[in-house]
């Protein structure tokens, strides 16, 4: 059974001005997401700036999220690392907090071979009982997990169940789903490609846009699953200007900027991320106004 179906939010991590985690604000964001119809919370992913958190902060935020959600919707914890032993440590600790699954990005910088990726994921999966979603985002990691490797993992490792596909390569996704023959749960990792991936048998999206428009992203998925593909496609097309603006600079710079513009007060970014360029802020404001969220 899939961990979730529909729109999962890759939730931001709000910070105080001194860079510490703003737990009170994080709880507010979680409640807003649940009220908006979001189908799952993905905590400590790329959008959550997990790579700039200490291990203690990373794990404490996962624990806090699981405690506040209280089983109302699934919580999926980002526990990937370019060090296999670190990923095992984060994954085994996160499992203790009662999360529903793990999101594990391909190891970045190292440029592992396909066999190295298989061994990396197998070691992590063997250390936990939780279902694992692979995360393929080669534009950020420099590492692409090929369809054959994904299918091998999902076939040979029982608790590797899905993939967040953010390669942007639709042809690769089509090949993956052809080879998988129903053995893998596919989630879009790109907000501008949700409906195309749903049409290939995808179960939903792990979304950045859901941080600012949870109901709309949820409804786009719901329409598709209800059989209104044309209506879902219209929502996808209506979303494109906002999606483009939210990725006009590296994620999560624009989405945190957007949330602050909306008065959500999620605070600053952790370096080396920097404040958004003024011309891009104006583009973002225009897209938000056109979409009706500012």
DSSP states of 227-251: T-HHHHHHHHHHHHHHHHHHTSSST
Spatial distance between the Cα atoms of 213 and 85, rounded to a whole number of angstroms = 36
E strands along 11-68, which residues? 40-43
Tokens of 249: 């600079």
The helix (run of H) or strand (run of E) holding residue 24 is helix 23-35
Query: Tell me, what DSSP letter sits at residue 187?
Result: E
The active-site residue, picked from 25, 164, 256, 264, is 164
SS3 207: strand
Spatial distance between the Cα atoms of 177 and 147, rounded to a whole number of angstroms = 8
What region, left, alpha or beta, does residue 149 occupy, with left being phi > 0 and alpha being psi -120 to 50 degrees?
alpha
The answer to whether 10 and 217 have CB atoms below 8 angstroms apart is no
Based on the residue annotation, tell me whether 164 is a catalytic residue of this protein. yes
- Cβ partners under 8 Å of residue 81, min gap 6: 87, 90, 107
Compute how many other C-beta atoms are within 10 angstroms of the C-beta atom of residue 20.
Answer: 10
Spatial distance between the Cα atoms of 223 and 226, rounded to a whole number of angstroms = 5
CA 42, 37, 288: angle at the middle one, nearest 5?
A: 85
CA 282, 216, 192: angle at the middle one, nearest 5?
A: 65
The active-site residue, picked from 121, 135, 187, 291, is 135
Tokens of 150: 């994904």
The answer to whether 163 and 187 have CB atoms below 8 angstroms apart is yes
Q: Which residues are catalytic?
A: 135, 164
């Amino acid at each position: 059974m899939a961990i979730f179906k529909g729109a999962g939010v890759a939730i931001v991590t709000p910070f105080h001005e001194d860079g510490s985690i703003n737990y009170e604000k994080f709880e507010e964001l979680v409640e807003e997401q649940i009220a908006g119809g979001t189908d799952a919370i993905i905590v400590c992913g790329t959008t959550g700036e997990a790579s700039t958190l200490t291990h203690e902060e990373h794990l404490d935020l996962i624990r806090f999220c699981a405690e506040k959600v209280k089983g109302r919707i699934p919580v999926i914890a980002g526990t990937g690392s370019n060090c296999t032993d670190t990923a095992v440590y984060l994954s085994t600790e996160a499992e203790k907090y009662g999360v529903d699954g793990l999101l594990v990005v391909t190891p970045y910088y190292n440029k592992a071979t396909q066999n190295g990726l298989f061994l990396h994921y197998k070691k992590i999966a063997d250390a936990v009982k939780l279902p694992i979603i692979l995360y393929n985002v080669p534009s950020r990691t420099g590492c692409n997990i090929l369809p054959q490797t994904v299918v091998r993992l999902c076939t040979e490792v029982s608790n590797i169940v899905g993939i967040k596909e953010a390669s942007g390569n639709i042809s690769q996704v089509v090949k993956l789903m052809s080879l998988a023959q129903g053995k893998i749960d596919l989630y879009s990792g790109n907000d501008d490609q949700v409906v195309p991936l749903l049409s290939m048998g995808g179960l939903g999206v792990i979304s950045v846009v859901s941080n600012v428009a949870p109901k709309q992203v949820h409804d786009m998925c719901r329409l598709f699953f209800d059989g209104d593909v044309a209506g879902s496609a219209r929502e996808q097309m209506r979303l494109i200007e906002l999606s483009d603006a939210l990725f006009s600079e590296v994620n999560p710079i624009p989405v945190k900027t957007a949330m602050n513009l909306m008065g959500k007060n999620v605070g600053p970014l952790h370096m080396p991320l920097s404040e958004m360029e003024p011309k891009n802020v104006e583009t973002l404001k225009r897209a938000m106004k056109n979409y009706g969220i500012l």
